[in-house]
Chains A and B, each alone.
Chain A
Amino acid sequence: MIMPARSQWTLRLALIYMVGGATLGAMMLIGKVHPPLAHWMNGLPLHIAWMVGGGFLQFVMGTAFWILPKFADRPSFYGNVFFFDTAVVALNVGLIVYSLAHGVAAFTFLKSWSWPLFAIALLAWMAHVFPRIKPFQGVEE
C-alpha cells in the first residue's frame, strides 16, 4: 500500500513536532530539579501543544489518510482532500500562532487566535475522515 504524499508531509511534520516537544519536555524536567534553570518550566504550554497536537494528533491524521478505506469508484481516491488539506494547514498555522503567543512576549495578543484554528482543523479533519470510516471496498465482514 503506497503512502500518499499528503501522508508523508503530515507525518514528517508530526515527527518534527515530536522532537521539538520531547526537547522541551527534557528541558523542563531538568529545570524542575536544577533551580537555576527553573524558567525552562515555562515551556509547559508549548510542550503539551507540540507533543499532543503537533506530534500525536498529526501522526494519527497522516496515518489515517493513508490506511483508511478509499473510494475506488470516485475520481478522488482519498475522498475530499480539500478538507484534509484545510485540517493540516489550520492545525499547523494554529500551532505556530499558539507557539508565538506563548513563547514570544510581543505576540501574547495572539493567545485567543489559535483555538479557532484548532477548531477548524478538527472540524475539517472530521469532515474528511467520516465518509472514509466504512467497510473496505464496500464489503461487510
Chain B
Amino acid sequence: MPRVTRWFLKSGLLFLLLALAVEVAAAIFQSGTVAAITLALRPTAFHFFFVGWIAQLIMGVSHWFFPRYTREKPRGNLSLIWSAFFGVNLGLFLRLISEPVFWNAVYPWRTPLAILAAVFQWVGFFCYVLHIWPRVKGK
C-alpha cells in the first residue's frame, strides 16, 4: 500500500471519528452550550464525513488500485496526489476553525480563512482528478 494511500486512510478514519463525535454530542446534548456548539459544527461535520472520510477513502484506494500510468511511473505524478491530500486536509482544518462561527463579525479574520478553506478543498479535488484521470484506462 503506497504511503499517500496510508495517509489518506488514516486521516479519513480520524475525520470519521470527528464527524461521529459531533453527531453523538448532538444526540446527547439537546440544549445548552454544547448543543449550540454542535449545531454550529454540523455543516462542518457533514464535510468531515463526506470529504474527510468518503472522498479520502476513494482518493487513497483508487491511487493504490487503478491501472498504472506507465511502466516507469506506475502511479503517475505523485506531487499531484500529495497536493490533493494536503489540499483536502488543510481545507477541512481551516473549515473547522472558520465555518462554524462565520456570522460572527467580532472575528473578521475568519472570512479570509473560510475563503482559503474553500480554495484548498477545491484544489485538493482538482489535483486528485488531474492525477487519476490518465489512470482511468484499459490497462
Binding site for B on A (CB under 8 A): 2-5, 8, 11-12, 15, 18-19, 22-23, 25-27, 29-30, 32-34, 51-52, 56, 59, 63, 67
Contact = CB atoms under 8 A, between A and B. Distances in A.
Contacts of A18: 125, 128-129
A27 to B, nearest CB: 8
A27 B60 CA distance: 25
Contacts of A29: 95, 99, 114-115, 117-118, 121
B98 interface: yes
A3 B115 contact: no
Nearest to A21: B125
Given A56-B54, A59-B58, A63-B62, A32 B136 contact: no
Given A30-B114, A33-B110, A34-B111, A22 B122 contact: yes
B131 to A, nearest CB: 10
A22 B23 CA distance: 24
Contact of A25 (B54, B121, B129, B137): B121
B67 A3 contact: yes
B125 to A, nearest CB: 4
Contacts of A27: 118
Given A3-B67, A22-B126, A25-B122, A15 B114 contact: no
Give the interface size class of chain B. Answer: 20 to 34
Nearest to B133: A15
Contacts of B138: 2-5, 8
B32 to A, nearest CB: 25
A60 B67 CA distance: 16
Contacts of B66: 3
Contact of B115 (A11, A12, A30): A30
A15 B54 contact: no
Nearest to A8: B136
A32 B58 contact: no
B50 interface: yes
